[in-house]
């Protein structure tokens, strides 16, 4: 018997995970990726003995990955292994004020007590509420599909939500526990992972502190790109046909149904289409006007998540002052957030994230050398000419030297900058965003773009634009929700 055909657009975590699930459910699945390798924002780049993770580098919420593999009666350990990190990360508050965050709760409690009297006790209380919220979110919120307002504003969520203060703003919520800016920044910085600022994020996302401080930060063998390769292996085992260099140019729709997907390699007939590519690109560029669920005005009115100024450096010596993960928080970081969300500009004294994975993974750099990934979150849509890039690179390098004491302009073996125009060129990202849509309350759950088209009945979406949102674990959850809905609606 001919099996029904599912065509998946995009070979990032969203596309790969949904393709594997649909194949498991009996669909004949073809995945089409425009680039020459899989992984999407989580690809790797190898050059001169260095292997860089181009995108994500924090393996968070391990239980989500384990659950995903268990959906195939598979064991995650057969696809990649994990190393726990200790310390989790190093935070520079200034050149002379540095803290290490640990896997050991007691050490973190001592650290918070050193920030302000009572800080240790406050951390215990804060972490307890974050752990409780995390459990409620996992059981009630993240794995659910939201189609109508009433799905979100249901009685249980409203009662729990009010009790837990999830609808307050995170920054205000944290300040009811802590006065010290360092304590507050450690508990709020992860909002950048969600593409928003702590001033606008709902306090629901205090769960992120449970995620990083209690569930632990791990390093996957071969980095996050290695995890994506593990998903690609799972796809092959399930029989998915993975096609690279296959840019999709049009989704053919007749009488409200997607019939085929047109690519630079020809046409692929489809009974169902799933997109893991950037939602705005698919809606605005791959569908004819009559088939689009959202107008250009809708996209213009969204709070778009930050873009990033990323520098990959291969340094020909050891850097003693750095850990695997390093963060810098400016004393008044509202300056930096304002340049992202209020008055778009290249920030002067930016907060940054700097990873040096060669501290853990010796194969990521030649012996005695270091592998550096430096990330500054910036507003989407900034001028990103060669001239601007070069000037900003020099500025950021002297800033990093002032803060960390490490001069990253010496012994440079490899250098590459990746920013706005690369996000557009490589992924068709809306305004060059790295992360899609911000997680403000109005862009959470039922308020995110739906995982099913309103105009094309057999067109579905997964990936970071949909619920539950940004981040690799969230995208795996999105695919589980979407694949379940497809198989429930259409069999096979
Ligand atoms: C620099 C960076 C750091 C990050 N750090 C972390 C982290 O540490 N931990 C974490 O959990 N998350 C992190 N994230 C977020 C996480 O990487 C993303 O949320 C997730 O990878 C998004 O997956 P996706 O499948 O939705 O999108 P993508 O990975 O972008 O996949 C979409 C795919 O669609 C393809 N595509 C687009 N248009 C077409 C077309 N017309 N035809 C065919 N294919 C097309 C693209 O090439 C791409 O491969 C980070 C993101 C970035 C950019």
Fold adopted by 306-427: Guanine Nucleotide Dissociation Inhibitor; domain 2 (3.30.519)
pLDDT at 362 over 80: yes
State how far the Cα of 278 lies from the Cα of 282, in Å rounded to an integer. Answer: 6
Question: Rounded to the nearest whole angstrom, what is the distance from the C-alpha of residue 302 to the centroid of ligand 1?
Answer: 19
Nearest CA, atom 7, ligand 1: 56
**5-40+225-301+440-490 homologous superfamily:** FAD/NAD(P)-binding domain (3.50.50.60)
Atom of ligand 1 nearest to the CA of 38: 49
The residues pairing with 84 across neighbouring beta strands, listed in sequence order, are 218
Q: Phi, psi (5° rounding) for residue 142?
A: -75, -40
> Taking the CB of residue 20, how many other CB atoms lie within 10 A of it?
30
pLDDT at 173 over 80: yes
Nearest CA, atom 13, ligand 1: 56
The residues pairing with 253 across neighbouring beta strands, listed in sequence order, are 258
> Taking the CB of residue 116, how many other CB atoms lie within 10 A of it?
15
Q: What are the start-end ranges of the H helices in 286-415?
A: 296-300, 334-341, 386-404
pLDDT of residue 273: 98
Q: For residue 194, what pLDDT band results from cuts at 50, 70 and 90?
A: confident
Nearest CA, atom 17, ligand 1: 56
Question: Rounded to the nearest whole angstrom, what is the distance from the C-alpha of residue 13 to the centroid of ligand 1?
Answer: 7
**459, two tokens:** 């067109």
Q: Report the share of the chain in percent with pLDDT over 70.
A: 97
pLDDT at 148 over 80: no
Q: For residue 141, what pLDDT band results from cuts at 50, 70 and 90?
A: confident
pLDDT mean across residues, the chain = 94
Atom of ligand 1 nearest to the CA of 14: 25
Q: Is-above-0.75 flag for pTM?
A: yes
Q: What are the start-end ranges of the H helices in 325-406?
A: 334-341, 386-404
pLDDT at 262 over 80: yes
Instruction: Report yes or no: 457 and 257 within 8 Å, Cβ to Cβ.
Output: yes
Average pLDDT over residues 112-125: 98
Fold adopted by 105-211: Guanine Nucleotide Dissociation Inhibitor; domain 1 (1.10.405)
Residues within a 6 A CB radius of ligand 1: 9-15, 32-35, 40-42, 55-58, 60, 247-248, 276-278, 281, 308, 310, 375, 427-428, 434-435, 463-464, 470-473, 475
Question: Rounded to the nearest whole angstrom, what is the distance from the C-alpha of residue 117 to the centroid of ligand 1?
Answer: 42
Question: Rounded to the nearest whole angstrom, what is the distance from the C-alpha of residue 463 to the centroid of ligand 1?
Answer: 8
- The more confidently predicted of residues 218 and 140 is 218
Q: For residue 258, what pLDDT band results from cuts at 50, 70 and 90?
A: very high
For 416-431, what is each residue's pLDDT tens digit? 999 999 999 999 999 9
Describe the strand order of the beta sheet including 89-94 as a list of residue ranges. 97-101, 89-94, 325-328, 352-356, 370-378, 307-315, 412-418
Average pLDDT over residues 8-34: 98
Which residue, among 180, 84, 86, has the nearest Cα to 126 in the 3D structure? 180
pLDDT of residue 139: 86
Question: Rounded to the nearest whole angstrom, what is the distance from the C-alpha of residue 264 to the centroid of ligand 1?
Answer: 21
Count how many Cα atoms sit within 13 Å of the Cα of residue 217 in the half-sphere of its side chain.
22
pLDDT of residue 144: 83
Question: Rounded to the nearest whole angstrom, what is the distance from the C-alpha of residue 214 to the centroid of ligand 1?
Answer: 26
Which residue, among 227, 190, 195, has the nearest Cα to 210 in the 3D structure? 190
Instruction: Report yes or no: 299 and 284 within 8 Å, Cβ to Cβ.
Output: yes
pLDDT at 490 over 80: yes
pLDDT of residue 13: 98
What are the structural domain ranges in the chain? 5-40+225-301+440-490, 105-211, 306-427
pLDDT at 492 over 70: no
Which residues have a Cβ under 8 Å from the Cβ of 448 and sit 6 or more positions away?
146, 437, 465, 466, 467, 469
Average pLDDT over residues 340-345: 94
Q: Which of 158-162, 210-214, 224-228, 234-238 has the lowest mean pLDDT?
A: 158-162
Q: Phi, psi (5° rounding) for residue 408?
A: -90, 10
Residue 96 Rama label (left phi>0; alpha psi -120 to 50; beta): alpha
Q: For residue 160, what pLDDT band results from cuts at 50, 70 and 90?
A: confident
Question: Rounded to the nearest whole angstrom, what is the distance from the C-alpha of residue 450 to the centroid of ligand 1?
Answer: 18
- The more confidently predicted of residues 201 and 148 is 201
Which residues have a Cβ under 8 Å from the Cβ of 344 and sit 6 or more positions away?
379, 380, 381, 382
State how far the Cα of 41 lies from the Cα of 57, in Å rounded to an integer. Answer: 11
Atom of ligand 1 nearest to the CA of 54: 1
Q: Phi, psi (5° rounding) for residue 424?
A: -70, -50
């Amino acid at each position: 018997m001919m099996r029904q055909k599912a065509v998946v657009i995009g070979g990032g975590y969203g596309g790969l995970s949904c393709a594997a699930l649909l194949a498991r459910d009996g669909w004949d699945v073809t995945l089409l990726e425009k680039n020459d390798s899989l992984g999407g924002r989580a690809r790797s780049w190898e050059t001169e003995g260095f292997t860089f993770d181009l995108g994500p580098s924090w393996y968070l919420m391990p239980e989500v990955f384990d659950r995903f593999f268990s959906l195939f009666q598979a064991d995650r350990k057969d696809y990649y292994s994990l190393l726990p990190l200790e310390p989790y990360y190093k935070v520079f508050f200034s050149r002379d004020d540095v803290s290490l965050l640990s896997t050991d709760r007691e050490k973190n409690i001592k650290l918070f007590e050193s920030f302000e009297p009572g800080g240790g006790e406050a951390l215990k209380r804060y972490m307890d509420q974050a752990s409780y919220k995390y459990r409620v979110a996992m059981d009630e919120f993240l794995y659910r599909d939201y189609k109508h307002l009433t799905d979100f504003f249901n009685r249980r969520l409203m009662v729990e939500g009010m009790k837990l203060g999830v609808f307050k703003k995170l920054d205000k919520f944290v300040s009811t526990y802590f006065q010290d800016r360092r304590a507050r920044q450690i508990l709020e910085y992860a909002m950048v992972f969600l593409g928003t600022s702590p001033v606008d994020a709902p306090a629901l996302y205090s769960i992120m502190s449970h995620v990083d401080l209690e569930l632990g930060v791990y390093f996957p063998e071969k980095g996050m790109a290695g995890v994506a390769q593990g998903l690609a292996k799972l796809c092959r085992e399930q029989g998915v046909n993975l096609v690279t260099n296959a840019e999709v140019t049009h989704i053919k729709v007749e009488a409200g149904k997607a019939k085929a997907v047109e690519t630079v390699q020809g046409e692929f007939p489809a009974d169902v289409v799933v997109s893991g590519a950037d939602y705005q690109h698919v809606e605005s560029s791959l569908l004819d006007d009559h088939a689009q669920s959202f107008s250009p005005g809708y996209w213009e009115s969204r709070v778009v998540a930050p873009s990033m100024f990323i520098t990959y450096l291969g340094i020909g010596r050891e850097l003693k002052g750095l850990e695997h993960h390093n963060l810098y928080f400016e004393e008044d970081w509202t300056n930096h957030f304002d340049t992202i969300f209020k008055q778009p500009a290249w920030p002067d004294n930016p907060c940054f994230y700097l990873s040096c994975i060669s501290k853990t993974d010796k194969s990521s750099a030649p012996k005695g050398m270091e592998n550096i990934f430096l990330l500054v979150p910036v507003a989407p849509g900034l001028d990103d000419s060669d001239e601007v890039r070069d000037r900003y690179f020099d500025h950021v390098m002297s800033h990093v030297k002032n803060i960390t004491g490490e001069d990253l302009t010496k012994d440079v073996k490899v250098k590459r900058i990746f920013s706005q125009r690369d996000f557009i060129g490589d992924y068709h990202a809306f305004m060059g965003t790295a992360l899609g849509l911000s997680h403000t309350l109005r862009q959470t759950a039922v308020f995110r773009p739906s995982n099913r088209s309103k105009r094309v009945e057999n067109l579905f979406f997964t990936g970071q634009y949909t619920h539950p949102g940004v981040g690799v674990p969230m995208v795996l959850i999105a695919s589980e929700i979407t694949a379940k809905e497809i198989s429930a609606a259409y069999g096979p």
